[in-house]
Amino acid sequence: MDKIKIKEKYYIGIVGFGGAGMALYKHFESFDDCSVISVFDIKEPAFERARNHRADLFLTSDFDAFLESGIDIVVVSSPDSTHAKYICRSVEHGKHVLCEKPLTDSVEGIRDILKCVKAHPDIVVGVQHQMRCLPIHRKIKDIVSSGVLGKVGYIEGYYVHNLTKRAFEYDNWRLVENATPLIYSGIHFVDLLRWVVDDEIVEVSAMANNICFPEYPESDLNVVLLKFRSGIIGKVVTAFGAGRPQDHTVQVYGNDKSIFNNMLFDKDGSFEIFATPIRNTMQGRKLAWIKETVIATYSKLFEWLMRSYPYNAQYNIGYYPIRLYEHSMAVRNSAENFMNTVKGKGKLDCTVFDAARSVVVALAGVEAYRTGKTVVLKDFGMNDIEELL
Ligand SMILES: NC(=O)c1ccc[n+]([C@@H]2O[C@H](COP(=O)([O-])OP(=O)(O)OC[C@H]3O[C@@H](n4cnc5c(N)ncnc54)[C@H](O)[C@@H]3O)[C@@H](O)[C@H]2O)c1
């Protein structure tokens, strides 16, 4: 990577200033050596939001002007279908790129991005699959790779997020583009499961319905079964209309031990808690620190209660009471990993090649629920993509 030069300040441009763009603005601004200076969007309300963040941002609907605005890095947080063109134009212009997941939403998009990235090996292109960056998920991966579970037969992940308010809050692209839950969100867990078991998916079957959030186009619930090369079976549930708080459960079954979120169970009913809420996730922010401290204290109290519960091993305690998906921390960790790679101090947690494989599986899942047939990946008509991966 000859292109890498450590700079005192990296200037950032954001493409698409909606929910994800605003979150990434906050994280990049919090890095000492980064400053967001430009925003590209095609809709006036986005500029209003940007002006409310900072009056001196360069705001434009002209992508050439955006690329010429003095930026080193492009953050792509526009609708899924637009990622491929913005990534390619930015890379061709010599900019490092951090793109929101999914990498893209089409076979053509994958093809264009992979060809472009391969032609520019000195440019860093990362993908915001922040699920890989959570301490709990890193620990799950370490436990699975250590072999302590014995023979692993099953893994599942849940992306349950009630989007009935958020889906069309800043823009209607999810409606216009028919952004299927699996490609737009479930992909988080398709990617996470592939990464945890370090195996590739060879077959997909799926079902979908549109009952709980009928205003969402096509389907708001996607349930996908995945068969890995090793024979492991996986499941990803993506639900946008469930009347409940967010759920990002991960479960792994081994013949010796099994994982349920942050709990490692033995067949005799004993359990170990291998990840607990982390304090001081937002360094320097006193309120966040106090909040995290309160959560950590609660979790310790609950742990004590769980252990003092006179349980029957067959019907053991099954849940940990505190949420362990620290969204903001995950997004920040992922952006930090990208910046470290740009500075030559690390390696990307998720490359475009990794992310492209997850998109292929998600596209196969949509094909599976639309046709009602199991999709075998090698017959999915993507041989030219396989050559690029
Ligand atoms: N990593 C995550 O957990 C996460 C969370 C949410 C969204 N996302 C991803 O981020 C991206 C944006 O999602 P969001 O929730 O911020 O959407 P949003 O609806 O909140 O905002 C979309 C923004 O893009 C702008 N836009 C619309 N068409 C555009 C175009 N052709 N070119 C440039 N900008 C355009 C809109 O004006 C708006 O400002 C999507 O790819 C989504 O999948 C990722």
Instruction: Note if the pTM is more than 0.85.
Output: yes
The pLDDT of residue 315: 63
Task: Name, in order, each residue with C-beta under 8 angstroms of 87's C-beta and a sequence gap of 6 or more.
Answer: 76, 97, 99, 113, 116, 117, 125, 352
Q: Is 157 in the pocket of ligand 1 (CB under 6 A)?
A: no
The pLDDT of residue 236: 98
Query: Could you identify the residue written with the tokens 């195996």?
Result: 199
The pLDDT of residue 291: 77
The pLDDT of residue 177: 95
Q: Which atom of ligand 1 is nearest to the CA of 82?
A: 31
The pLDDT of residue 281: 52
Name the residue with the closest Cα to ligand 1, atom 43: 184
As a whole number of angstroms, the distance between CA 38 and CA 16 comes to: 11
Pocket probe for ligand 1: among 22, 41, 169, the residue whose CB has the most ligand atoms within 8 Å is 41
Q: Is 21 in the pocket of ligand 1 (CB under 6 A)?
A: yes
Give the distance, in angstroms, between the CA of residue 209 and the centroid of all CA atoms in the same chain.
Answer: 23
Q: Is 128 in the pocket of ligand 1 (CB under 6 A)?
A: yes
Name the residue with the closest Cα to ligand 1, atom 40: 79
What b/e readout covers 236-266, taking b as 16+ CB neighbours within 10 angstroms?
bbbbbbbeeeebbbbbbbbeebbbbbbbbbe
Q: Which domains does the chain have, with CATH numbers?
A: 10-128+334-350 (3.40.50.720), 132-325 (3.30.360.10)
148 CA to centre of ligand 1 in angstroms: 40
Q: Is 20 in the pocket of ligand 1 (CB under 6 A)?
A: yes
Q: Is 100 in the pocket of ligand 1 (CB under 6 A)?
A: yes
Q: Is 25 in the pocket of ligand 1 (CB under 6 A)?
A: no
Q: Is 191 in the pocket of ligand 1 (CB under 6 A)?
A: no
Beta bridge partners of 97: 74, 125
Q: Which atom of ligand 1 is nearest to the CA of 129?
A: 1
340 CA to centre of ligand 1 in angstroms: 24
CA distances to 48, 61, 120 from 90, rounded to whole Å, are: 24, 15, 11
Q: Is 63 in the pocket of ligand 1 (CB under 6 A)?
A: no
To the nearest 10°, report the CA torsion of 366, 335, 325, 305.
Answer: 160
pLDDT tens digits, the chain, 389 residues: what are they? 445 568 999 999 999 999 999 999 999 999 999 999 999 999 999 999 999 999 999 999 999 999 999 999 999 999 999 999 999 999 999 999 999 999 999 999 999 999 999 999 999 999 999 999 999 999 999 999 999 999 999 999 999 999 999 999 999 999 999 999 999 999 999 999 999 999 999 999 999 999 999 999 999 999 999 999 999 999 999 999 999 989 999 999 999 999 999 999 999 888 899 998 775 555 556 677 787 788 888 888 888 887 777 666 666 677 777 767 888 889 999 999 999 999 999 999 999 999 999 999 999 999 999 999 999 999 987 777 778 88
CA distances to 84, 99, 261, 357 from 102, rounded to whole Å, are: 10, 8, 24, 11
Q: Is 19 in the pocket of ligand 1 (CB under 6 A)?
A: yes
DSSP-H helix ranges across the chain: 19-30, 44-53, 63-67, 83-92, 107-119, 135-146, 173-176, 181, 187-197, 286-308, 327-342, 352-371, 383-388
The pLDDT of residue 1: 46
Cβ–Cβ under 8 Å, residues 72 and 12:
yes
DSSP-H helix ranges across 3-106: 19-30, 44-53, 63-67, 83-92
Residue type, 115: K
Q: Is 352 in the pocket of ligand 1 (CB under 6 A)?
A: no
Cβ–Cβ under 8 Å, residues 13 and 36:
yes
358 CA to centre of ligand 1 in angstroms: 19
Q: Is 79 in the pocket of ligand 1 (CB under 6 A)?
A: yes
As a whole number of angstroms, the distance between CA 97 and CA 117 comes to: 10
Give the distance, in angstroms, between the CA of residue 325 and the centroid of all CA atoms in the same chain.
Answer: 12
As a whole number of angstroms, the distance between CA 113 and CA 377 comes to: 20
